[in-house]
Amino acid sequence: MISPAPPGPPGPAARAPAAAPPLVALAGVTRVYGSGPAAMWALRGVDLTLRQGEFVAVMGPSGSGKSTCMNILGCLDTPTAGSYRFAGVDVGTLSRDQRAYLRRDSLGFVFQGFNLLARTSALENVELPLIYRGLQAAERHERARGALAAVGLTGWEDHTPAELSGGQQQRVAIARAIVTRPAMLLADEPTGNLDSARGHEIMALLTGFNRDQGLTIVMVTHEADIAAYADRVVRFMDGRVEADGAGGSA
Ligand SMILES: Nc1ncnc2c1ncn2[C@@H]1O[C@H](COP(=O)(O)OP(=O)(O)OP(=O)(O)O)[C@@H](O)[C@H]1O
Ligand SMILES: [Mg+2]
């Protein structure tokens, strides 16, 4: 049996149907942890549509479901009920392997804690997702160097995370996330461990990738001045989207 091709990012306009589907469409998404009296409703019915090229900040109190929603968007978790369509593909119908391909080929991740491999050079950290894609060494090196250059880390390729500042480590993590040219970047509190100046440097980078390469970005933050970089702010409250509107301009 021929298995269907893994869904990639939206194809060129020529191949897209007249009305291209939104990049992301969550409909009635719930996520319940546990069951019975101990059931914990992390998401209570989330409807959310994102267009390609948007830069969205996700805000809301601790425990309101932001990370749970990000995990679902990132295909790291699946809804208890409701649907998630990515570029028109119903993620709920995909096998575990197909979801892994979708993650590998279309999504990039950045976390608060950088999550780099210790005792591994910046270049090797950035090359890792390209190894999973089966790229040859020469092309991996070239693309990883290009990604590190794009985050302002030319000359730091051979340094390990312990030899880099927090801001530099997060730049390496961003290079690792964009080296595969994903359609969507998911960033959960990317500036949460950084001082304000370093945080704004990271935001300048993300804004540049959004504007210049059309990278769709979904970013969780607790800080209003960080959310102000996004063009749209979605606010969670008790597992629901409480508000959804235009962002500020920083
Ligand atoms: N694996 C889990 N098992 C049980 N409950 C969970 C699990 N993960 C999250 N929860 C619960 O689901 C709710 C939403 O959690 P979530 O991590 O999405 O919140 P958040 O908005 O990201 O909060 P924060 O701002 O603190 O990161 C919380 O009440 C949390 O305790
Ligand atoms: Mg969280």
* CATH number for region 24-115+182-246: 3.40.50.300
Token pair, residue 71, equals: 């995990």
Residue 7 pLDDT > 60? no
Residue 117's CB is within 10 A of a number of other CB atoms, namely 12
Rg (CA), the chain: 18
- What span, in angstroms and rounded, lies between the C-alpha atoms of 57 and 66? 10
Which residue from 30, 32, 40 has its CB within 8 A of the most atoms of ligand 1, so it is best to mutate?
40
- What span, in angstroms and rounded, lies between the C-alpha atoms of 137 and 135? 7
Closest CA to 113 of 188, 201, 62, 58: 188
> Is any ligand 1 atom within 6 A of the Cβ of residue 68?
yes
Which residue from 35, 41, 64 has its CB within 8 A of the most atoms of ligand 1, so it is best to mutate?
64
Residue 61 pLDDT > 60? yes
More reliable by pLDDT, 89 or 2: 89
Provide mean pLDDT across the span 144-171. 97
Closest CA to 123 of 166, 70, 183, 163: 163
| pLDDT at site 247 | 80
> Which residue ranges make up each domain of the chain?
24-115+182-246
* Residue 176 pLDDT grade (very low, low, confident, very high; cuts 50, 70, 90): very high
Which helix (DSSP H) or strand (DSSP E) does residue 227 occupy?
A: helix 224-227
With pLDDT > 70 as the criterion, what percentage of the chain qualifies? 92
DSSP structure class, residue 20: P
Query: What does pTM read for this prediction?
Result: 0.91
> Is any ligand 1 atom within 6 A of the Cβ of residue 31?
no
* Residue 4 pLDDT grade (very low, low, confident, very high; cuts 50, 70, 90): very low
Residue 102's CB is within 10 A of a number of other CB atoms, namely 22
Q: What is the mean pLDDT of the chain?
A: 92
Ligand 1 atom closest to Cα of residue 71: 18
